[in-house]
Amino acid sequence: MRIEVCIGIRIAKGRNAVEDEKHLETAERVVNVSIEKMVYGGEGLSRTEEGVLLVPMVLPGERATVRLAERHKGVRRASVVEVLDPSPDRISPACPYFSRCGGCHYQHIRYERQLEIKREILLECFERVGKIKLETPVSVIAAEPWQYRNRTRLRIEKDPERFAIGYFEPLSHRLCSIESCPISSPAIDAAIGTLAGGLGARCFPDGCAELELFASESGQTLLATVYSVAAAPVSFGEELREAIPGLDSVCWKQENVRSNSEKPETKTTLWGSGAITYHAGEFHFRVGHDSFFQTNRFLLQDLIGAVTGDLEGKRALDLYAGVGLFSLPLARRFEQVSAVESNRASARDLESNMGVVGERARTYRMDVEKFLATAKPGWDAIVADPPRSGLTKVVVENLCRLRPRRLVYVSCDPTTLARDLALLIRGGFRTRSVHLVDLFPQTFHLESVVHLEYTE
């Protein structure tokens, strides 16, 4: 019997049924399962006498020995003990922390198969959640699957004996300490190595914190934001900027500070400009510490192209606009663009970024629901890029009331996307095209862009 070691999971070749049974007799709560398919969340699904099991680190078609975990909130999970029949799509992970670190889910799968799995999951969500049978093919847009992340959020733990930086282990609050992260951009990866190599222990005080790093497309400038319940050390920003080359701005957010009104507040300490400029093709964007921005440095232009497509006309509306990633390109195609963003920091950057197009752009710092409540029909195109929770019922109702000629839905969650599309189709829209933009290689996360048109 030949055994291969792969990320802590044994892969067996040549084991017969007798050996399988003998192996199971000596193991507690261990069963053999066949993996039917991958589901959204990064796990494989198996139907067994124990019920439906969700198993990480597997592929469709594989047979594996798994150890059962307790049922939690109606879901039963299992961990892989041994892969008995490995898939031809299984590869050795490129990262030494894979399976211990909770950041990635698909490194054991060749990249072309990752894309196929995500497409299958997207279609399955459409059919299962939305009862939607697509009449158009799904276009898959992908790029380099490594060193793509321009933003990452890390956990910091320090005491007099130890400094650790990394990510939580899967389904836990245990820290997986790392020295590198191969899906992060070279600038962020280098910063992680610098901090793990000793400079982090010199800069950070004892205790726990979270560190978010955001790098420009070239990696020459970075932002660092620290979240902690502790007060900011007086010289922290200067020391961190000296330790990390290109670090332009440092922000320390002391959370849950008690004020005179006894309401928790956040106290902010800033060293530096508070923002960097991010270039995406011909466009450039001011992005501050608290502003949302897409994380894949290779696919921003492709994402913009997938959203704007063949849109053109007089009036366009960008909902959940962020700093204007789509608003600014839309201003090149429409006579008037209105952009709506409720987050104060993102709205401030949005106003700055849209200033270059002058009177052709109008920005609104308010909730989308409030804006749509008084909005009148007459939009040639509306773009909506909501949070993971998707569109609220009020937003869907107003989109159906406004009846834009074209509607583009940008989503980071296929389940809420399918739910909302079902309501929009019922309200008179039909799908024109669907794009899967793989902004998050090596993980189960996927971005979708759906173009719809009003037909009634």
The full length of the chain comes to: 456
pLDDT digits (tens, 9 = 90+) for 268-326: 999 999 999 999 999 999 999 999 999 999 999 999 999 999 999 999 999 999 999 99
Domains of the chain: 2-90 (2.40.50.140), 113-145+296-454 (3.40.50.150), 151-276 (2.40.50.1070)
pLDDT higher than 80, residue 20: no
What is the 8-class DSSP label of residue 196? I
Tokens of 188: 């962020």
Question: Any catalytic annotation for residue 412?
Answer: yes
Tokens of 81: 């003990």
pLDDT digits (tens, 9 = 90+) for 355-401: 999 999 999 999 999 999 999 999 999 999 999 999 999 999 999 99
Inter-axis angle of helices 393-402 and 414-426, nearest 10: 40
pLDDT digits (tens, 9 = 90+) for 429-454: 999 999 999 999 999 999 999 999 99
Mean pLDDT of 38-54: 93
* Catalytic one of 6, 104, 251, 412: 412
Task: Write b or e for each residue in 291-329: b if 16 or more Cβ atoms lie within 10 A of its Cβ, otherwise e.
Answer: bbbbbbbbbbebbbbbbbbebebebbbbbbbbbbbbbbb
pLDDT higher than 90, residue 148: yes
- Characterize the bridge pairing of strands 175-177 and 247-258: unpaired
